Structure 1
Amino acid sequence: MILEALRAEFEQEVKSTRKLLEAVPEKDINFKPSPVSWTMGELAQHIATIYYWYTGTFTKAVYDLSADRIERGAPSDIQATRELFEKHVELARNALQAATEDSLKEDWTMQAGGRTVLGPMPRGAVARGFLFNHLYHHRGEMIVYLRASGNKVPGLYGPTYEQSQPQKGG
């Protein structure tokens, strides 16, 4: 039951994430709203990377970040980031399809060089917090980046504010 809901949510949100990454313009890839913020390209790459973590979450009891390597393009290459996203969506989908209701109850831990970073906690809670909610948080940031740099924001859950306003005649 829970797994069925997670799979359906995953499929819906992949579409929204794709729309958002497609809205990232190359011309503003180095935009950052403050000196301590990521660039738009770095944020987009992080969003794409979250899909990479599904495999480690659903296939390992202990996921060691320091032992894992992911091939990424440069954060300034939005096409490479979109390709990273598409590649890892498919792998994430496969990992989620292989999961079972019982596997959602099993403890999962994230480590970095032997130091526990997250957990142990049930894999289902990790899926909600570390994967799904983490993604939504950063997508919200990307919407702010797009607006702050004067770009159009795609509607993820219906029309955006701008799309819902009456068109001014010309």
Structure 2
Amino acid sequence: MILESLIAEFEYEVNSTRKLLQAVPERDINYKPSTISWTMGELAQHIATIYYWYVGTLTQDVYDLAADHLERGEAVDIKATIELFEENVERARAALKSIKEENLQDPWTMKVGERTVLGPMPRGIVARNFLFNHIYHHRGELIVYLRATGNKVPGLYGPTYEEMTGR
């Protein structure tokens, strides 16, 4: 039942993420709100990359980010980032469909080399926090970037302020 709900949420939210990434204009790809922030392109690419992490999270008991390499291309190429997103969504979808409900209780750990950075904790909690909520957090940041640069924000959960007010 929980896995079924996660899969349904995944499918719904993929469409929202796609709309948001498609709203990133090339002209503002290097925008960043502060010196310590990512550029808009780097943030978009990070969102696309999180979908890749579904595989290691859902299919491995210990996921070592240092041993897992993903070719991402240049963050200034939003079309390449959208392609990366689409490829990673397919990988994530397959990983979600490969596990069973009881696997959500299996202990899971993330490492970077020898250093443990997350866990051990139940895989289902990791899926919710490290994957789903992580994406939502960064999508919120990307919405702020889009608004700060005067770009339209797509409605993800209904009409946006701009759509409601005609501004």
Task: Work out whether the TM-score is over 0.5.
Answer: yes
Which structure 2 residues correspond to residues 4-153 of structure 1 after superposition, within 5 A?
4-153=4-153
Three-state SS of the structure 1 residue aligned to 2:87 is: helix
Three-state SS of the structure 2 residue aligned to 1:127 is: helix
Superposed CA RMSD in Å reads 0.8
Three-state SS of the structure 1 residue aligned to 2:120 is: strand
Per-residue deviation at 1:163? 0.4
Counterparts of 1:45 and 1:11 in 2: how far apart (Å)? 19
Structure 1 spans left out of the alignment, 5+ residues: none
Count of aligned pairs: 167
Bigger Cα Rg: 1
> Which amino acid counterpart does residue 26 of structure 1 have in structure 2?
E
The CA deviation string for residues 24-49 of structure 1, in whole angstroms up to 9 with x for no partner, is 00000000011111000000000000
Three-state SS of the structure 1 residue aligned to 2:118 is: strand
Per-residue deviation at 1:110? 0.2
Determine the structure 1 residue equivalent to 2:164: 164
Per-residue deviation at 1:101? 0.7
Counterparts of 1:47 and 1:11 in 2: how far apart (Å)? 16
Per-residue deviation at 1:155? 0.2
The CA deviation string for residues 51-97 of structure 1, in whole angstroms up to 9 with x for no partner, is 00000001100000111100111000111100000001001000001
The CA deviation string for residues 111-162 of structure 1, in whole angstroms up to 9 with x for no partner, is 0111100000000000000000000000000000000011000000000011
> Which amino acid counterpart does residue 94 of structure 1 have in structure 2?
A
Counterparts of 1:88 and 1:7 in 2: how far apart (Å)? 15
- Could you state the TM-score of these two structures normalised by the residue count of structure 1? 0.97
Following TM superposition, the consecutive aligned residue runs of length 4 or more in structure 1 with deviations greater than 4 angstroms are none
> Which amino acid counterpart does residue 43 of structure 1 have in structure 2?
L
Structure 2 spans left out of the alignment, 5+ residues: none
Per-residue deviation at 1:9? 0.2
Counterparts of 2:79 and 2:118 in 1: how far apart (Å)? 31
Sequence identity, in percent? Answer: 72
Counterparts of 2:99 and 2:147 in 1: how far apart (Å)? 38
Per-residue deviation at 1:99? 1.0
Per-residue deviation at 1:20? 0.2
> Which amino acid counterpart does residue 126 of structure 2 have in structure 1?
V
- Could you state the TM-score of these two structures normalised by the residue count of structure 2? 0.99
